A = this chain, B = another copy of it.
Amino acid sequence: MEHDRRRFLQALGVTGATVMAGCADEPAGDAPSLLGRGISPYGERSPFEQAARRLPDTTTLEEASSRTPLQDLDGMITPSSLHFERHHAGVPRIDPAQHELLIHGLVERPLVFTVTELRRLPSISRIYFLECSGNSSSMWRPAPQPSVQAGHGLTSCSNWIGVPLSVLLGEVGVRPEGRWFIAEGADACRMSRSIPIEKAWDDALVAYGQNGEALRPEQGYPIRLLLPGWEGNTSVKWLRRIKVVDQPVMARDETSKYTDLMPDGRARQFTFLMEPKSLITRPSAGRMLTAPGFHEISGIAWSGSGIIARVEVSVDGGATWTDATLQEPVLPKAHTRFTLPWRWDGSERVIASRCTDGTGHVQPTREALVAARGLNSNYHCHAIQAWRITADGRVVDAVA
């Protein structure tokens, strides 16, 4: 029997790959003949898999973050072990039996909830992305990045489960003058943000579940706020207190950080919404295309305003665009995986993706975004992002 890989590879336009010819009725691969290991209570990944959150070279606990290895991932769900991190005082060790959530302030009946009580209440399960508003900040400089992870890895997507904040606020009874609430974490710095009360009536959750199991410690165990589609910092982790107030409190983390300095010296504040954005994750910087021919282009797109309606891909530096396939399910405020078949001709190419959300908002070019917001900002860069593929197959950041 002939094992003819040549015709297959030719059909895909691959011309430089090794072709093996064989005459066996068996594949040449690993073929264990001994019993393998047994079952296990809590599984681990293969020792051949080494994808890891990228840690900065230098960091302090107060400014710590790690980034999701988007170039190594497929599909729409981020493994909890690889969800990006951003901590302002490290990851506290919290005994859920000792943890409580206080809701007070401008309410009729201040209440304290244990975690067990929260888990008895009506629950919601949804798939949502979470993105740090500082993601892609290197595009403001701009500074070319060695990988999609390094430049854009502060976004992840999970199945979140929890009790609607509206249920809890319904129980405490918000007074008419209660227009905002302050969410405070139980980390040592008591990370706090001021949130308009409308978000609570809309889709805010007090989440205790992530991808089926309990929240991971670095994601706020045992409970966190989850504000779908809003900048990640507002989804306060290790949530211990919600105080209903009449105006924002101008907490440290919404004044010293998480504001956007405009060209005229004034700052945009409370820029909660994460705008439509997309990334090509494969191929992406740091990888090689070993030969011309077929290579699937794959990436993720998301919008804080709802669903992704369209993703276009350019393989000629933005001159022309082709619609990518959106992988199902396409969900509001969730990563949507897109794919496009592509045959690389071996010439230098700049590839990029551009998404449009359900409101018609189109991801802008970097030039358009800079024209509107200047270059003083650290946050909310959702510009079109591009990779350069050199003629020898290397993939590098195309940002100037």
Contact = CB atoms under 8 A, between A and B. Distances in A.
A101 interface: yes
Summarize A's interface: helix, strand, loop or mixed: loop
Contacts of A124: 327
Interface stretch (A136-144, A251-259, A291-299): A291-299
Copies of this protein in the assembly total 2
B329 A329 contact: yes
A331 B216 CA distance: 26
A49 B76 CA distance: 25
A27 B91 contact: no
A76 to B, nearest CB: 6
Interface in A61-90: 61-62, 64-66, 72-83, 85, 87, 89-90
A38 B329 CA distance: 34
Contact of A217 (B45, B79, B98, B294): B45
A89 B38 CA distance: 9
A4 interface: yes
Interface stretch (A206-214, A263-271, A345-353, A356-364): A206-214
Interface in A284-343: 294-296, 298, 327-329, 331, 337, 339, 341
Contacts of A294: 120-121
A266 to B, nearest CB: 33
A293 to B, nearest CB: 8
A2 B110 CA distance: 6
A113 B42 CA distance: 31
B45 A214 contact: yes
5 contacts: A26-B102, A39-B218, A74-B208, A75-B161, A75-B209
